[in-house]
Amino acid sequence: MDHLIATPSLGFSEAVNKAASNILKFEGRSRQSEYWWTMVIVYLVSIALTPLAGFVLSLLTIPLTFRRLHDTGRSGWWWGGSAILQAIAIVLFIYDITMAYLNADNIHGYGDEIMWAFLLKYTVLSVLIIIYKIVLLVLYCIDSEPYENDYGESIKYIIQEDNQ
C-alpha cells in the first residue's frame, strides 16, 4: 500500500523566488505557500508605493493564480469570472454616467427613480462580485490535490511505496 507524504511548506524567500522564476508560466501547479507569500508582497508594495504599482504587480500574479487553481484541480479560468464581472460593472458604469450626462435635459422629474435604479443595479453587481471573490478565496485556500491531475504531478505530496 502506498503512503502520501506532504513535503514542508516553502519558506518566504523560496516561495517568492519560485513565483518570480515562473512569473509568465500559466501551466503547472503552485503551492499555497508560493501563492500566499507572493500575494503578501504584492499587497505590501501596493500599500507602500502606489495603487498603480500594486495593479501592475497584481497583473503579474495572474499566471501564479492560474497555477494555484490548477493545484486544486480547477481551471485557471475560474479567475476570469471575477475579471469579467468587474469589467461588466465598469462598462455599465461608464455607459450610465455618459447617458445621464448626454440626456441631462430629458431626465428632469425622474431623478429619484433613476438614482434608485442606478443604486440597485450597482448594489447587485457589487454583491455578485463579492460573492465570487469569496468563492475564489476558498478555492485558493484548498489544499493541493495529492495525486497527479490534469495540470501535472503534485508538487506538495510524494507517494512513498511500501516495500513488503
> What are the pLDDT digits (tens) for 39-58?
999 888 888 888 788 788 88
Which alpha helices (DSSP H) does the chain contain, by range? 12-21, 32-48, 51-60, 62-71, 78-102, 111-141
For residue 49, the number of C-alpha atoms closer than 13 Å in the C-beta half-sphere is 13
Q: In terms of pTM, does the model score above 0.95?
A: no
- Per residue in 103-155, pLDDT (tens digit) is 766 666 666 777 788 889 899 999 999 999 999 999 999 999 999 999 999 99
Kindly state the cell numbers that stand for 101: 450626462
